[in-house]
Amino acid sequence: MPEISVKDQLKKLIDLQKIDGEIYELKQVLEEKPKIVEELKNEFEAGKAQLHELEEKLKLVQLARKEKELDLQAKEDQITKYNTQLNEIKTNKEYTAKVKEIEGLKADKSLIEEKILVSYDEAEAVNAEIEKEKTVVSEEEKKFQNKKQEVDAEVKTVEARIKELEGQRASFTDIDPNIKARYERLLQHKNGLAIVPVAAGNSCGGCHMNVTHQTINQIKMNEELIVCEMCQRILYVEDEGY
């Protein structure tokens, strides 16, 4: 097979770079899309955690109220018991002492009743927060699920396109192995951009550093691959028929 000229090699690398450039960009999309879904999932999970905290808070409020109700019942039973005992007391001193105890129990009972009423208000407020958070969580879940479906569909489309491009890439079989290996290394280490044109103003199309007239003349001679002195990417001049 006849040796392919440097100019023809460059032309093939430029065509290959167009394919690889698109593949690189599509792979970036594949990396970024799941992050969007993950952020929405985190918001959804945070909402669920907040809802769980509120539900646990409500349980504690209800448990505390139950304990107060049991305490209230105990006070009422004790008041009933002491009232019964009043009928059996023989002396004024004992009677006065027992009445004082009953009054103390009634005062305690009144305080407990107030706390129970407060706990009902607190439970009502927490319940309102729970219902509000349920709505938020439901909306976040819908948003998450819808976005996930959308992203899954986009990912399939992107993956299909990458597969198609990789099929096209496989057809580039007549590039010099050493040149191809050099190109592949650059592609891997230079963000998917291995070969670039000399841009307007005589600068590297990759790193934008100045390209000397001498270097441009060397490129135009098509005797060897010329690279940017700064970024080492392969250079070509667009008006040279590539």
Res 2 pLDDT > 70: no
pLDDT at 68 over 60: yes
Give the 3-state secondary structure of residue 229.
Answer: coil
Q: Cα torsion for 112, 113, 118, 120, to the nearest 10°?
A: 120
Alpha carbon 31 to its chain centroid, in Å, reads: 12
Q: Which domains does the chain have, with CATH numbers?
A: 27-169 (1.10.287.1490), 177-240 (no CATH)
pLDDT exceeding 90 applies to what percent of the chain?
93
Q: What is the mean pLDDT of residues 52-75?
A: 97
Tens digits of residue pLDDT in 199-214: 988 999 999 999 999 9
pLDDT at 240: 64
Residue 1 confidence class, pLDDT cut points 50, 70, 90: very low
Q: CA 90, 95, 97, 101: dihedral to nearest 10 degrees?
A: 120
Measured between alpha carbons, how far is 14 from 78 in angstroms, rounded to an integer? Answer: 96
| Cα–Cα dist 196/203, whole Å | 10
Q: pLDDT of 109-126, one tens digit each? A: 999 999 999 999 999 999
**Is the per-residue pLDDT at 186 higher than 70?**
yes
- Quickly state the pLDDT bin for 44 (edges 50, 70, 90): very high
Q: What is the pTM of this model?
A: 0.71
Task: Output the six-digit token pair for 54.
Answer: 């509120």
Between 25 and 240, residue with greater pLDDT: 25
Mean pLDDT estimate for the chain: 94
